[in-house]
């Protein structure tokens, strides 16, 4: 551990993403995943009557990138601040710290040996695990699948392999370079075609299949954050399947909501304040999904009845 200032990196998205979002070969993972997923996450909740100068975006970004967050009354400014705490060595029977050190989000140590009971704990989830660690795993998987998809598309654009001696291979490489190295075929002269053999390259999986797998993991990522993203074709999903799919998402969302409501309530109790949690993403998707499935079932039933009536009318006419 390189001293306490490293904690500031966890609430600075530019620094943290710069360190965390590198692939194995040192290249950046596409930021479009980061932009879309993180924006969706921090847009779930808003707040009213936060402590001085604290904004909902700062609070939600801190919850996304940090654990061990707390509200602490800092005597230097005579106000409550969103900070991080670092436990000291002493622990009670439940492995909770007796005293902690308080560090501001910019990495500056504000106080030492502060009683743990004086803090208002601020958590994204009951386990107090920073969500971005989970997001990072999903983004790694999405990026891997995207690269595989690109490889398959490249193979599909050049579906023929040639074999011959070294001289002929060099000639084919030169022809490929002259043609742009991305065309679907290479044309050689008659002297080459007399000896060079070619055969088709059969791609074992289509790009659309890989894309569907990537979309599946994207939905799983959003579900783990409590964001509903069930966009499968409704006619393929029955009511029970929709409900089961959304149970996990709803659990994650309710867990995040409960954790936020708890620190809002504790803050109001300690400070006689009026901090309010606002659910931006407050639709009851489970109920909506069931209603949608029932609606589609009734439509299908009506279509079946109408089809039967048309058949009866046709038979009567004959």
pLDDT digits (tens, 9 = 90+) for 141-181: 888 888 888 877 776 666 566 666 667 767 777 776 665 55
Residues in the chain: 318
CA atoms of 227 and 249, how far apart (whole Å): 6
Q: What value does the mean pLDDT take over residues 100-119?
A: 91
Residue 67 has pLDDT above 60, yes or no: yes
Lowest mean per-residue pLDDT among 50-54, 169-173, 276-280: 169-173
Strands (E), 147-303: 160-163, 197-200, 276-279
The predicted structure's pLDDT at residue 184: 46
Q: Tokens 């005579």 appear where?
A: 78
Q: Are 40 and 108 in contact (CB under 8 A)?
A: no
Please say whether the beta carbons of 132 and 20 come within 8 A. yes
Better-scored residue on pLDDT, 276 or 168 = 276
Q: Which of 283, 290, 149, 130 is nearest to 215 (CA)?
A: 149
Confidence bin at 70 (pLDDT 50/70/90): very high
Mean pLDDT score, 297-316: 54
Which of residues 159 and 76 earns the better pLDDT score?
Answer: 76
Q: CA-based angle 147:153:156, to the nearest 5?
A: 145
Distances (CA, A) of 284 to 227, 254, 290: 12, 11, 10
d(CA 273, CA 271): 5
pLDDT at 280: 86
Do 61 and 70 touch, CB atoms closer than 8 A?
A: no
Tokens 């707390």 found at: 70
Q: Which of 39-53, 57-71, 200-214, 226-240 has the lowest mean pLDDT?
A: 226-240
**pLDDT tens by residue, 199-220:** 566 667 777 888 888 888 988 8
Confidence of residue 198 (pLDDT cuts 50, 70, 90): low
What's the chain's average pLDDT?
Answer: 75
240 pLDDT more than 70 = no
**Dist CA 277 CA 43 (whole Å):** 12
Q: Which residues pair with residue 199 across a beta bridge?
A: 161
Sole residue written with tokens 């109408």: 306
Q: Is the pLDDT of residue 276 over 90?
A: yes
């Amino acid at each position: 551990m390189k001293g306490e200032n490293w904690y500031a990196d966890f609430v600075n998205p530019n620094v943290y993403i710069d360190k965390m979002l590198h692939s194995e070969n040192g290249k950046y993972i596409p930021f479009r995943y980061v932009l879309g997923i993180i924006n969706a996450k921090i847009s779930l909740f808003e707040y009213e009557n936060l402590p001085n100068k604290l904004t909902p975006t700062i609070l939600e970004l801190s919850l996304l990138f940090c654990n061990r967050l707390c509200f602490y009354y800092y005597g230097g400014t005579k106000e409550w601040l969103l900070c991080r705490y670092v436990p000291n060595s002493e622990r009670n029977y439940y492995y909770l710290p007796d005293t902690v050190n308080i560090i501001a989000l910019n990495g500056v140590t504000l106080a030492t040996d502060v009683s743990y009971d004086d803090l208002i704990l601020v958590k994204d989830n009951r386990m107090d695990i920073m969500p971005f660690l989970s997001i990072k795993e999903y983004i790694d998987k999405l990026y891997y699948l995207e690269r595989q998809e690109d490889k398959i598309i490249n193979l599909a654009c050049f579906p023929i392999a040639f074999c011959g001696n070294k001289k002929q291979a060099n000639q084919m490489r030169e022809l490929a370079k002259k043609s742009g190295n991305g065309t679907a075929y290479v044309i050689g002269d008659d002297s080459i075609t007399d000896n060079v053999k070619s055969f088709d390259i059969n791609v074992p999986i289509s790009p659309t299949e890989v894309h569907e797998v990537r979309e599946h993991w994207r939905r799983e990522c959003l579900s783990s954050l409590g964001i509903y993203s069930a966009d499968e074709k409704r006619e393929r999903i029955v009511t029970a399947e929709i409900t089961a799919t959304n149970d996990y998402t709803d659990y994650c969302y309710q867990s995040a909501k409960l954790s936020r409501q708890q620190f809002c309530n504790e803050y109001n109790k300690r400070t006689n304040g009026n901090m309010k949690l606002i659910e931006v993403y407050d639709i009851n998707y489970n109920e909506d999904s069931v209603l949608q499935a029932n609606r589609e079932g009734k439509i299908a039933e009506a279509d079946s009845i109408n089809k039967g009536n048309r058949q009866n009318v046709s038979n009567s006419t004959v």
